[in-house]
Amino acid sequence: MSVTGAIRKAERVLPGEEAPEGELDPRWQTIIEVSEYIQQHPDEVWRFTRKWGAHANADLRTAVATCLLEHLLERHFDLIFPLVSEACRQSPRFTDTLCRFWEFGQASGPQNLKRLDALRWELCRPSAWRCTEWRPHHVIG
């Protein structure tokens, strides 16, 4: 399958509804399939991430955050971070998506982590920490 095919397949499933407890969620599964193309096709995956990372459904935003955004920033921080910053300023829901993932790879480097923390601090504010109980790294110690 190609990145275009994976995205088309996911678009047919999304937004969908959560699977019953204990069953595989087809929404998460198709998002995981899209994530397989992050390394070679970050621009296409970003456009998909931007669209679905602002959706009203919180579980869908969690899937986008943990399966896509987290790994886009892990592997393509310098390319993706400015786009994330802009998306967060345009969409409170996308800002919420930003608060739903952990930092790995390039995103966990000291300078990049500082940039992420600054953006989260600016946009999330302590009242928004409820989503993942995110705290700036300098606060946690």
Instruction: Express each pLDDT in 45-57 by its tens digit.
Output: 999 999 999 999 9
Q: In sequence order, which residues have a C-beta less than 8 Å from that of residue 121 and are 6 or more positions away?
A: 136
Q: Residue for token digits 């946009």?
A: 123
Quick one: CA torsion of 41, 45, 14, 86, rounded to 10 degrees? -170
Going by the DSSP 8-state scheme, the letter that residue 65 receives in this structure is: I
Tokens of 24: 């595989």
The per-residue pLDDT for 131 is: 45
Q: What gap in Å lies between CA 47 and CA 65, rounded to an integer?
A: 13
Q: Is 102 helix (H, G, I), strand (E, B) or coil?
A: coil
The per-residue pLDDT for 123 is: 81
Instruction: Express each pLDDT in 97-117 by its tens digit.
Output: 998 888 889 999 999 999 998
Q: Is 129 within 8 Å of 121 (Cβ atoms)?
A: no
Q: Torsions phi, psi of 83, nearest 5?
A: -70, -40
Give the pLDDT of the chain (141 residues) as one tens digit per residue. 899 999 999 999 999 998 998 999 999 999 999 999 999 999 999 999 999 999 999 999 999 999 999 999 999 999 999 999 999 999 999 999 998 888 889 999 999 999 998 888 888 765 544 444 444 444 433
